[in-house]
Amino acid sequence: MSATTTSAATAAPDFEAVIGLEVHCQLRTASKMFSAAPTHFGAAPNSQTDPVVLGLPGALPVVNRQAIEFALRIGVATRSKIRARSRFARKHYFYPDLPKGYQISQYDEPLCEHGLVQFVLDGQPREARLTRIHLEEDAGKNTHLPGRATSLVDLNRAGVPLIEIVGEPDLRSAAEAGAYLRALRQLVRWLEISDGNMEEGSLRADANVSIRPRGQSALGTKTELKNINSFKFVEKAIEHEIARQIDVVTSGGRVVQETRSWDAERGTSFSMRSKEQAHDYRYFPDPDLPPVVVSPDWIARVTSALPELPAQRRTRFVEALGLPAHDAEVLTGERALADWYEAAVAAPSKADPRKLSSWVQSELLRVVKDTPLAECPIKPDMLAELVALIDAGTISGKIAKDLFARMLQSGERPKVIVDREGLTQVSDTSAIEAAARAIIEAKPKEAAAYKAGKQQMLGFFVGQTIKAMGGKANPQLVNDILKKLLES
Ligand code: ADP
Ligand code: MG
């Protein structure tokens, strides 16, 4: 938060922020929204085109069925009302990245309406309403060369299927907007309809922001923030805009309806244009495309093929497996992670779900940061076996940590390593007693100090004894035996 943000926010605590997001999301189809041209990201400029994408005269669009199916998936997952007949419309504007001079979108008859997004903020479950989810095609990409009068146009992205997810103005803080957006990203990835990658532009959010005196129900004038192209900046950009509007109003001005662009480098925004009205776009139904008809049967098939959703899974992890809410949230961050964890819980070793959860979070997630979980040499049943070995007292926690690292190296099962190398924890009291006596004899000063009342010396003896036994001694037994010997 910048200095101005802080001062404005504290000087005027009686304003409430209102935020609604418009999120564009690229669908991961093999071909474009209205033609068979491919959609590879990062291909040579203008290699992913065809006459439809280029808007050549006489080229006719055909709807991509897979794109409709993907949109239905998120429509059903957000409990939206699915329109039986929806329609594509032409939205006109003029820009070099739009060869036809119009974008095919949906206007007054979108595919999905009145949905709901569930998300978590500070451990609390929340909901925000969706106005609509509609389908459209993406535009191309312009590159303006600094210091030159030339701009480059790449039409590879033109015609790529997008869904636009329009949210109701239900969000009340930058943090809430951030949590909402992360939940949407999680959902599109979970449903496998998009990679949700904000840095590569497959997820793009425009934030509509207004303020109003707390307690007022009428909405204030909003501005629309564009060009927030990284998760890192979503909250920052909104925070900045709220503070800017409060500054304008408290210094006697009025917020004007406009589109502003976020400048991440300078941490500020600037006015791009006054907001256009719908009639500026001269929308009308695209005469080249028939209405999209979705049968109840199609919706039923999509519904029954839907995976258990993040919010439901979170709840089940808490209620059925006894996980703390935070653990459940982390473990359901990605569907692959939730699946991995559940496979570990279901493994024959029957390890404690809570202990498994903490091993997954503290050890597994640390080592698989940059690689897909599926490629990890440690498989769910192997971790379950390791946790069960600790629980049964067969190995110590310290040995378990070493074993984990070795399993990662070799892909061997923990039991195999333990048996081969005799790593079984020593719970044989006479062996521990012999080792403990030897340590006490070797450290008479420390022993005397303990006897004189220096309680913390016990830890020193425990550490020395376990070390002498190659880390394999049962720590609880070592503790008990040392106490007995030192106090006798
Ligand atoms: P427009 O006609 O300018 O496109 P819409 O009513 O269609 O505006 O809303 C577009 C987006 O702006 C939606 O996500 C909506 O939730 C949000 N929005 C609308 N009014 C406000 C407001 N006063 N403050 C914040 N967000 C708003
Ligand atoms: Mg609108």
Residue 354 CA to ligand 2 centre (angstroms): 46
What pLDDT was estimated at residue 9? 45
Evaluate whether 213 touches 16 at the Cβ level (below 8 Å): yes
What pLDDT was estimated at residue 276? 66
Residue 140 CA to ligand 1 centre (angstroms): 25
Is the minimum distance from the CB of 168 to ligand 1 under 6 angstroms? yes
| Mean pLDDT (whole number) for 446-464 | 88
Tell whether the model's pLDDT for residue 6 goes beyond 80.
Answer: no
Is the minimum distance from the CB of 448 to ligand 1 under 6 angstroms? no
Is the minimum distance from the CB of 103 to ligand 1 under 6 angstroms? no
Residue 476 CA to ligand 1 centre (angstroms): 62
- 302 or 401, which is more confident: 302
- 63 or 232, which is more confident: 63
Tell whether the model's pLDDT for residue 70 goes beyond 90.
Answer: yes
Substitution candidate for ligand 1 out of 16, 134, 173, 222 with most atoms within 8 A of CB: 222
What pLDDT was estimated at residue 230? 85
3-state secondary structure of 207: strand
CA 82, 88, 89, 90 torsion: positive or negative? positive
Is the minimum distance from the CB of 219 to ligand 1 under 6 angstroms? yes
Report the percent of the chain where pLDDT is more than 70.
96
Distance CA 177, CA 175 (A): 5
Residue 174 CA to ligand 2 centre (angstroms): 21
Distance CA 128, CA 246 (A): 24
Tell whether the model's pLDDT for residue 194 goes beyond 60.
Answer: yes
Q: Where, residue-wise, is CATH 1.10.10.410 in the chain?
A: 429-486
Is the minimum distance from the CB of 20 to ligand 1 under 6 angstroms? yes
What pLDDT was estimated at residue 275? 65
Question: Degrees (nearest 5) of the Cα angle 417, 418, 420?
Answer: 65
Evaluate whether 135 touches 162 at the Cβ level (below 8 Å): yes
> Please, what CATH class does the domain formed by 429-486 belong to?
mainly alpha
Is the minimum distance from the CB of 389 to ligand 1 under 6 angstroms? no
Residue 109 CA to ligand 2 centre (angstroms): 13
pLDDT tens across 355-372, in order?
Answer: 999 999 998 998 888 788
What pLDDT was estimated at residue 13? 60
Which ligand is the nearest neighbour of the Cα of 18? 1
| Mean pLDDT (whole number) for 200-211 | 94
- 94 or 116, which is more confident: 116
Atom of ligand 1 nearest to the CA of 221: 23
Closest CA to 72 of 26, 124, 129, 134: 134
What pLDDT was estimated at residue 3? 39
- 212 or 434, which is more confident: 212
| Mean pLDDT (whole number) for 55-70 | 96
Residue 225 CA to ligand 2 centre (angstroms): 14
Distance CA 301, CA 183 (A): 24
Tell me phi and psi for residue 430, to 5 degrees.
Answer: -70, -35
Atom of ligand 1 nearest to the CA of 220: 23
What is the band of 2 on the pLDDT scale with cuts at 50, 70, 90? very low
| Mean pLDDT (whole number) for 257-281 | 82
Residue 382 CA to ligand 1 centre (angstroms): 51
3-state secondary structure of 364: helix
Tell whether the model's pLDDT for residue 231 goes beyond 90.
Answer: no
The protein residue whose alpha carbon is closest to atom 24 in ligand 1 is 210
